[in-house]
Amino acid sequence: MCGCGLGSVAGSIGLFGAVAINIWKPAALDAAITAALNANAVKIAAAANAASAAEIIKLIKLTLLVPNIAGQPFETFFTATPYKNVANITQVVYSEFAQKCITRSSGSLRLLFSDIKRDIPFCQSVWNQAPAVSRTGEHISGIDFIHRTVQNIVTQAEEPANAAAKIAEATEIATIKAAEEKTIEAANEKKK
């Protein structure tokens, strides 16, 4: 019997408003987070791509000792090339190798130090590492070695990409949660 009088009073003193806000708050927050993640999917993917490209550049420079591609920084190359494009990365690195390390078009071998374009550390890194990755009795060509190396590097770059995507996603979620909670609490304060 004591609750029967609340029907006419509860709405006027704001009891239902606070209850409704507390019930709807998690659902509204989840919807806002989902919408924000969808809206920022490109931004999150860009963070992952940037982290992967940076890791690939670092590993190519360390593994193959390639300082740049055609005189341009790797960063320029990766603005137009997806980091997972193993075939394209392989081709570009191999073109650099062919230009700087393989025989001249006349068929004569370039003499060590005789060609100003020769990149001795890069050439030697490929020549010295290629036999290490070949199987017994198998000769591995420069392009095969570069392809295997690039494939391995791209695989290694997945971890930083995933970490960067998670960080970007967590940042978006935290931003949305803070904004939505302020909005909901402000609406709750107006009702009081």
Q: For 75-121, what is each residue's pLDDT tens digit?
A: 888 877 788 889 999 999 998 888 888 765 544 444 444 555 566 78
Give the model's pLDDT for residue 169. 87
- Sites in the chain below the pLDDT cut of 70: 1-25, 103-119, 131-138, 191-192
Residues 6+ apart with CB under 8 A from 44: 37, 165, 168, 169, 172
The verdict on residue 2 lying in a domain is: no
- Residue 69 pairs in a beta bridge with 72
The verdict on residue 8 lying in a domain is: no
Give the model's pLDDT for residue 35. 81
Give the model's pLDDT for residue 155. 93
Domain count, the chain: 1
Helices and strands (DSSP H and E) totals, the chain: 8, 0
The verdict on residue 1 lying in a domain is: no
Domain of residue 87, residue span: 13-191
Are 49 and 83 in contact, with CB atoms under 8 Å apart? yes
- What is d(CA 24, CA 144) in angstroms, rounded to the nearest whole number? 59
The verdict on residue 25 lying in a domain is: yes
- Would the pTM of this model clear 0.85, i.e. be above it? no
Grouping H, G, I as helix, E, B as strand and the rest as coil, residue 106 is coil
Among candidate residues 73, 80, 126, the one with its CA nearest the CA of residue 99: 126
